Amino acid sequence: MGERWGEWVRVPVGDEAARWATRGGSTKVLLVVHNVTSATRLLDVVPLFRDDLRVQLLATCTGSSPFQAGLAELFDAVGVPLLPWEQAVGTPVALAISASLGGQLDRIQGKLVVLSHGVGYNKILAPASQPASQPASQPASQPFVFGFDPALLLDEAGVPFVDAMVLSHPEQVERLAAACPPAAATAVLAGDPCYDRLLSERPLRERFRRTLGVHPGQQLLLLNSTWNPNALFGDGGPVDLLPLLLPRLRAELPADEYRVAAVLHPNIWHGHGPGQIRLWLDAAQRAGLTLIDPVHDWRQALLAADAVLGDFGSVSYYAAALGTPVLLGAASLDTLGPDSPVADFVRKAPQLDPYAALLPQLDRLRAEHRPFPGPAALTSSDPGRAAGLLRALCYRLIGLPEPGTPALLDRLPLPPYQPPVRTAPLRVCTRVLRHGAVELHRTVSPEYEPDGPGEGHLAVHEDTLDREVLDLADLIYRYGAPDDPRFGTPADWTAEVLDRFPGCSLAAYVTGPHHCVARHRNGLLVELTTTDGGADPAAWASALLARPAPGPLGVRTGSTSHTVLVTELRR
């Protein structure tokens, strides 16, 4: 965890806190963190204490999770005092809130609320990881759903040590009562704050799509993986899917018809290391894949998605609850409670054939999609009400009256603009139609020549990893600000590129989503603009290469057509 979690805090708690604290009389609420995944759910509820001068938040980490990386940095950004675990359990608090049952939570001196850090409790804890305190009446090899097992919920006397087990639906209460009858009395229905944040931001779907550079008519395919050897990203299933899937995403999905992004579980990021994840997915990123921030931006990407290629994790289930088509690339039931809603969904959802063509499977997924009623109905029995229910619960346990202001969750922030930047070479097939418009098809597929009628050419980003490919390029392009002094003006850059690469016919400098400057070897220097969104301006340059002339230029990508105005510039 690093030194930040190892140093005992002297203020606002500690032996001399009364001497140093400015508001030392505040009621203490402790956030109990296990890993980044559980921390994200705790961050959902932090805003419930906003503007309350009576409450001081603290945080601690149990140290029980193997996924410790990233935690200190995350809570440094939250900005609340971080207590070492031994100090935390020795400090009386009015309330402790945890989003996991790992660690010695029964040592906490205060009321304890436990939240689920996913979409309810569905996963089975591996037998090798079962706690030593598991009752002898339960065989060690018998799996259990994490969160409902007596060994995690009861103390040595068989009494629940959790004061409030927050659940989002009555079916979870029923499963808890069946698995651990003494804990049933602690169950509190209080909705799902994560799901509520998703629902409240649905009107901003198009805005979230634009942050990812999704153009009109383009499909956003979101890859999603939970952490597990049998997950989409894992290598422990019957088929190691990634080596099969990643090259085919590049080769089979047209660049202007599909936008691809990935949401990976925080335990993948912090278990293997962010640098390693980026190395594993380097070719995919150069082909246009965007890796989504697994803490702050995954919900926005989920709202933006047209389809999800996922697995048995919570994010794929949230997608189904939102009504988004979900294709399961990994559908193992081995780690799911057989009577859980997620297991029921996995049994019913369409599954990817890893050896069949991708496009027909995605087309069929959308055409035949009918939302399953289960995910939307079972994710929360009180959609839109989690903030009020959770705050009322917390203040009741603390023993303070609630603030007079409404209980509100944080809005989902608008992520930074992340359009795809494809630095891998693009194979382009263009065809001039009867009315003069240009139909084009771009794929990141160095192994194959463009297929279909028309002319083929090679379009290459100036920053491509393999510099030798630039000597073969028909079109060289880049993205940048129009006043970036490193490249001179767009006109200067295009002239320089054509001078450096005599085999290149066209150079294009993309200055924004609606603007591009291009220079043809025949001397034509033009500005390309549009007001209707259209496609990637680098695609316009490919269309211009097929029909190099000023005037309106019709561009067709897939089923979408738009008009680009080509204006000649002074040389």
Return phi, psi of residue 167, to 5°. -125, 160
Average pLDDT, the chain: 93
Task: Give the model's pLDDT for residue 129.
Answer: 45
Residue 357 C-beta-side C-alpha neighbours within 13 Å = 6
User: Alpha-carbon distance 157 to 408, whole Å?
Assistant: 39
User: Alpha-carbon distance 279 to 548, whole Å?
Assistant: 39
Contact 77, 36 (CB under 8 A): no
CA-wise closest residue to 110 among 54, 47, 168, 58: 58
Taking the mean position of all CA atoms in its chain, how far away is CA 310?
Answer: 12
User: Alpha-carbon distance 561 to 544, whole Å?
Assistant: 15
User: Alpha-carbon distance 148 to 380, whole Å?
Assistant: 18
Helix, strand or coil, per DSSP, at residue 108: coil
What would the DSSP string read from start to end of 441-504?
EEE--TTS---SSSEEEEEEETT-S-GGGGGG-SEEEEE--TT-TTT--HHHHHHHHHHH-TT-
Q: Please give the C-alpha separations between residue 146 and each of 130, 142, 230, 466, in angstroms, as whole numbers.
A: 9, 12, 17, 48
Task: Give the model's pLDDT for residue 71.
Answer: 83
What is the tally of helices (H) and strands (E) in the chain?
A: 20, 23
What domains sit in the chain, N to C, each tagged with a CATH number? 3-194+382-398 (3.40.50), 204-378 (3.40.50.12580), 426-568 (no CATH)
DSSP state of 4: G
Residue 227 C-beta-side C-alpha neighbours within 13 Å = 18
Task: Give the model's pLDDT for residue 138.
Answer: 45
CA-wise closest residue to 66 among 108, 101, 102, 40: 102
Contacting residues for 397 by C-beta, under 8 A, at least 6 apart:
94, 95, 111, 113, 163, 164
- Provide the angle, in degrees to the nearest 10, between the axes of the packed helices 314-321 and 341-348: 80
User: Alpha-carbon distance 273 to 70, whole Å?
Assistant: 10
Helix, strand or coil, per DSSP, at residue 417: coil
Contact 507, 476 (CB under 8 A): yes
The dihedral through the CA atoms of 492, 497, 500, 504 has a sign that is negative
Q: Please give the C-alpha separations between residue 38 and each of 45, 164, 325, 350, 514, in angstroms, as whole numbers.
A: 12, 17, 26, 29, 41
Task: Give the model's pLDDT for residue 66.
Answer: 83
Residue 389 C-beta-side C-alpha neighbours within 13 Å = 19
Q: What is the pLDDT along the chain (571 residues), one digit of tens a residue?
A: 334 567 899 999 999 999 999 999 999 999 999 998 888 999 999 999 999 999 999 999 998 888 888 888 888 888 999 999 999 999 999 999 999 998 999 999 999 999 998 899 999 976 544 444 444 444 444 568 989 999 999 999 999 999 999 999 999 999 999 999 999 999 999 999 999 999 999 999 999 999 999 999 999 999 999 999 999 999 998 899 999 999 999 999 999 999 999 999 999 999 999 999 999 999 999 999 999 999 999 999 999 999 999 999 999 999 999 999 999 999 999 999 999 999 999 999 999 999 999 999 999 999 999 999 999 999 999 999 999 999 999 999 999 999 999 999 999 999 999 999 999 999 999 999 988 999 999 999 766 565 667 899 999 999 999 999 999 999 999 999 999 999 999 999 999 999 999 999 999 999 999 999 999 999 999 999 998 777 899 999 999 999 999 999 999 999 899 999 999 998 7
Structure tokens, 397: 């346990």
CA-wise closest residue to 85 among 67, 71, 105, 66: 105
Task: Give the model's pLDDT for residue 480.
Answer: 96
Residue in the structure block whose two tokens are 């591009």: 516
SS (H, E, C) 282-347: HHHHHCCCEECCCCCCHHHHHHHCCEEEECCCHHHHHHHHCCCCEEECCCCCCCECCCCHHHHHHH
- Region at 2 (left for phi over 0; alpha for psi -120 to 50; beta for the rest): left
Q: Please give the C-alpha separations between residue 91 and each of 94, 95, 305, in angstroms, as whole numbers.
A: 10, 11, 45
